[in-house]
A = this chain, B = another copy of it.
Amino acid sequence: MVGDERDNKGIVARKNENFSEWFTEVVQKAELADIRYNLKGFLVFRPWSVYSMEKMYSFFEKSLQKKGHEPHFFPTLIPEENFEKEAGHVKGFTPEVFWVTHGGDKKLPEKLALRPTSETAFYQMFSLWLRSYKDLPFKSYQRAQVFRYDTKATRPFLRSREFHWIETHCAFANEEDALNQVKEDMKTSEEVLHGIFCLPFMMFERPSWDKFPGASRTFAADVLNPDGKVIQQPSTHMISPDFSKAFDVKFKDKDEKEKYAFMTCYGPAISRIFASVVIVHGDDKGLRFPWEIAPKHIVIVPISNDSELVKKAEELKKKISVFTDEVVIDLDDRKSPGEKFNYWEMKGIPVRIDLGKKEVKDKKLSVFRRDLNKKEVILEKDLMNYLRKVSVESGENLKREADKLFKGRIRDADTIAKVKWVLSEGGIARCGFCSVDGDGEKCAVKVEKEIGAEVRGTLLEKENVSGKCVFCGKNAKEVVYIAKAY
């Protein structure tokens, strides 16, 4: 509520007409973040996004802890030697590492990486911590920021040079247990991302050329944008055995033999998932949130700062506090009531209570719920029941709307022209493909160059295949999904 934003009257761009402009406007006008910090690709996250992201962290952490993951805080800096231990990893990440080279005016004896991801830090300790099969499974995680010197165009929340995430790092006695962890991670995504944040997604195994550097298999959740593009959200990686060897992560198994552990990692990027919350649930007025992750729950807008109304607002706030203490009273005398209504609709607060003298006298309340954009008058004595109802229904309504996004979007395509047509309609093309191993990469390049889209991968449960690869005409060995992506 400070600074230049006051001059703005609301979102101008239409979400479905000019998505990109709409997103930029929402980020700025709803005060989610400020892009004016004097360092390219780095964002100042403002309270309205932080309140929500803190809740998102909390849901993910609870879900992980319940499944046996324990929290750690690892150093933000990783010595260069750790990176160099695993060839694929170093090759994949070093082009985008920020390097610390000096402490004060002294050159450090070794370059230190600002963590782009923490496998090489965790595994360093795994090699000290893990001794016996009784130490397995070992399931850890940390809440952290990661840094990538990304040379592509940055975009608030979606692609920044510093982002906020959770990374789990786990070790298992065998590959089967590691694969089961992938399935558990999918369940966590379903529970949290879909169940609570109300974001539908599809889970793919990525083709071999699109794996995490150092992984033997990579799985990722793709969330669909209303504009038809997909956004990669949490991914899980089965780490290559080369990695365990490079870091000497061994354990003594039941048969008394020393064996290398199988590792997995899972990385829900909270600040990026927040972008999907904005994008999937937002509308032309601005933000909408499921109750559980709304920055605040309720705003009370007295139509003037008359002392009777202010007193009544305080009284209501106190009354509501048995249910939620996330109640804001808007007394900003720089805005008219109408401007306040627009402002709070743009901010996506789930419930607004408008308070005038008539309402106070009649013991009635004029309420607005943002999930349905519906205004109604209720009896003051029914307020608590009303709030309870909205707190349950808002998520259900947003989820129902969001789930419709996928409906009819996935379409079979048996020619390149059909693939193009499906994508042009904002869909995801499902088609036969020669191979998701190295062999298929040529066709993937074709998809990128000719269609401007990506092979997102295969389903975890193998599908029946017949016919030819749409791109090279060889026998199809896989069913893949092709989409445009952010």
Which A residues lie at the B interface, using CB under 8 A?
2-4, 34, 36-39, 42-47, 50-51, 53-54, 70-79, 81-82, 94-106, 111-112, 114, 121, 124-125, 128-131, 134-135, 138, 140, 145, 147, 149, 162, 164, 333-334
Query: Which residues of B have CB within 8 Å of A34?
Result: 125, 128-129
Chain B residues contacting A131 (CB-CB under 8 Å) are 2-3
A2–B130 CB distance below 8 A? yes
List 8 contacting pairs A-B, 8 Å CB cutoff, sorted by A: A2-B130, A37-B121, A39-B77, A42-B75, A76-B76, A98-B102, A100-B100, A103-B149
Distance in angstroms from A384 CB to nearest chain B CB is 23
User: Please, which residues of chain B bring their CB within 8 A of the CB of A4?
Assistant: 128
CB closest chain-B residue, reference A73: B45
Could you say which residues of chain B place their CB within 8 Å of the CB of A38? 79, 81-82, 124
Q: How far is the CB of A53 from chain B (nearest CB, A)?
A: 8
Residue contact B95 to A105, C-beta cutoff 8 Å: yes
Which residue from chain B places its CB closest to the CB of A66 in the assembled complex? B325
The answer to whether A94 and B104 touch (CB under 8 A), given A39-B75, A54-B71, A77-B39, is yes
Chain B neighbourhood of A42, CB < 8 A: 75, 77
Contact B73 A164 (CB under 8 A): yes
A110 to chain B, nearest CB (A): 9
A149: B residues at CB distance < 8 A: 103-104, 106
Count of identical protomers in the assembly: 2
Chain B: minimal CB distance from A78 (Å): 8
Cβ-neighbour of A39 out of B70, B106, B112, B135 (below 8 A): B112
Which of chain B's residues has its CB closest to A103's CB?
A: B149
Contacts of A3 in B (CB 8 A): 128-131, 135
Given the known inter-chain contacts A100-B99, A149-B103, please indicate yes or no for A51 contacting B71, CB distance below 8 A: yes
Contacting A162 at CB < 8 Å: which of B75, B79, B106, B125?
B75
Contact B76 A47 (CB under 8 A): no
CA A71 to CA B164, docked complex, whole Å: 15
A-B pairs with the 3 shortest C-beta distances?
A103-B149, A45-B73, A47-B70
Smallest beta-carbon distance A172→chain B, Å: 14
Q: Are B112 and A103 in contact (CB under 8 A)?
A: no
Q: Is the CB of B95 within 8 A of A44?
A: no
Measured in the bound complex, the distance between the Cα atoms of B5 and A129 in whole Å is: 9
How many angstroms from the CA of A44 to the CA of B44 in the assembled complex? Answer: 27
Complex alpha-carbon distance, A79 and B147, angstroms:
15
Across the interface, which residues of B come within 8 angstroms of A45, CB to CB? 72-74
User: Residues of B contacting A44 with CB < 8 Å?
Assistant: 72-75, 125
Question: Closest residue of chain B to A334, judged by CB?
Answer: B134
How many angstroms between the C-alpha atoms of A346 and B465 in the bound complex? 59
Residues of B within 8 A of A51 (CB): 71
A101 to B112, CA, bound (A): 11
A100, A103, A125: residue with the most chain B Cβ atoms closer than 10 Å: A103
A72–B48 alpha-carbon span in the complex (Å): 9
The answer to whether A104 touches B96, judged by C-beta atoms less than 8 angstroms apart, is yes
Tell me, in angstroms, the Cα distance from A99 to B78 when the chains sit together. Answer: 14
Considering the chains assembled together, what is the distance between the CA atoms of A67 and B78 in angstroms? 38
| A325: nearest chain-B partner, CB-CB | B66
B98 touches A73 (CB 8 A): no
- Residues of chain B within 8 A of A94, CB atoms compared: 104-105
Minimum Cβ distance to chain B for residue A131 (Å): 6
Q: Is the CB of A76 within 8 A of B145?
A: yes
Cβ-closest chain B residue relative to A135: B2
Residues on B with beta carbons closer than 8 Å to the beta carbon of A128: 3-4, 34, 36
Alpha-carbon distance between A138 and B2 when the two chains are bound, in angstroms: 9
Q: How far is the CA of A80 from the CA of B46 in the complex (A)?
A: 23
Contact A114 B135, CB 8 Å, known A3-B128, A73-B45: no
